[in-house]
Amino acid sequence: MTESTIYTPPTVWTWNKANGGRFANINRPIAGATQEQDLPRGHHPLQLYSLATPNGVKVTIMLEELLEAGHTGAEYDAWLIRINEGQQFGSGFVSINPNSKIPALLDCSGAKSVRVFESGSILMYLAEKFGVFLPTEPAQRAECLSWLFWQMGSAPYLGGGFGHFYAYAPIKIEYAIDRFAMEVKRQMDVLNQHLAKHRYMTGDDYTIADMAIWPWYGGMAKGQLYEGGEFLQVQEYTHVIRWADEIAQRPAVRRGRMVNRVMGPLNTQLHERHDAGDFDTQTQDKLQAAAEAPAPGNAQP
């Protein structure tokens, strides 16, 4: 152990703002709004406030799957919440998610708006509202919900544990990386053994369990998260890769992963989604032009 990894906790923890790390500028030990900021509101029944992280993408995939299946009541406006700029701490966002994390949904289709936060809860809410992607037969339903909640409980070890210490922490701590690498490999093996015997997480039908697990564990199996693919030897998980590849081909998945995306090639980014036509090339060209235009602060005199 080096000196920098030896830490004797004081009797009382205090907030050291300068502790570094990728998200040090937005992490706080207190909840609540930091600024007054209303949320924009569009015309569709569903208003989504999100960003295309694995947790955000679960919901945009579900909404696009619903539309693909003909549920026009699932039309939605997707508004971008830039978490690295602290927009999750605006008063409007906090009023629909007191936990200040994307994704958050407002269902304005009834007399009274319904707020829904936590990606698993949003998937379940939408599945129940539209009566799809969640089996009704009790044993199948239990299996689907078990995998949905497995994902909600497991992914923090992948993201907040392995991803944080392997990719984001300002120092590499062998103990922490070992602990979470071991756990993520165990989780990947859980999925691999299950998917060796099943086409989808709950059997023959694609459900919200697949939509929840795919952005995290499909991404990991394809080496797309934290540049940790080689380190974790993810090519071993052949059944997860087969399942991930099949899901990636779905038209709704291809659209859903573009929504609220602000990274990667420009033609994969759709910062806001208000209409099915937003996916067309004209919009992509506009986005490209907007991205290439000088930012106001950098404009030449």
Ligand X SMILES: N[C@@H](CCC(=O)N[C@@H](CS)C(=O)NCC(=O)O)C(=O)O
Give the binding site for ligand X (CB under 6 A).
26, 53, 55, 83, 88, 100-103, 118-119
Bond from prior residue into 103 cis (ω within 30 degrees of 0): yes
Cβ distance to ligand X smaller for residue 218 or 241: 218
Whether 33 contacts 94, CB under 8 Å:
yes
The least distance separating ligand X from the CB of residue 194, rounded to whole angstroms, comes to 21
How far apart are the C-alpha atoms of 146 and 287, rounded to whole Å?
Answer: 40
How far apart are the C-alpha atoms of 267 and 29, rounded to whole Å?
Answer: 37
The least distance separating ligand X from the CB of residue 90, rounded to whole angstroms, comes to 12
Indicate the helix (H) or strand (E) that contains 105: strand 104-107
Between strands 76-80 and 114-117, the pairing is unpaired
The least distance separating ligand X from the CB of residue 24, rounded to whole angstroms, comes to 11
The least distance separating ligand X from the CB of residue 251, rounded to whole angstroms, comes to 24
Edge-to-edge strands, sheet with 76-80: 76-80, 46-50, 104-107, 114-117
Cβ distance to ligand X smaller for residue 103 or 135: 103
The least distance separating ligand X from the CB of residue 6, rounded to whole angstroms, comes to 28
Radius of gyration of the chain (CA): 20
The least distance separating ligand X from the CB of residue 138, rounded to whole angstroms, comes to 25
Cβ distance to ligand X smaller for residue 50 or 202: 50
Cβ distance to ligand X smaller for residue 60 or 88: 88
Q: How many CB atoms sit inside 10 A of residue 17's CB?
A: 9
Cβ distance to ligand X smaller for residue 121 or 233: 121
How far apart are the C-alpha atoms of 72 and 64, rounded to whole Å?
Answer: 10
How far apart are the C-alpha atoms of 224 and 215, rounded to whole Å?
Answer: 10
Residue 251: strand pairing partners? none
Cβ distance to ligand X smaller for residue 102 or 253: 102
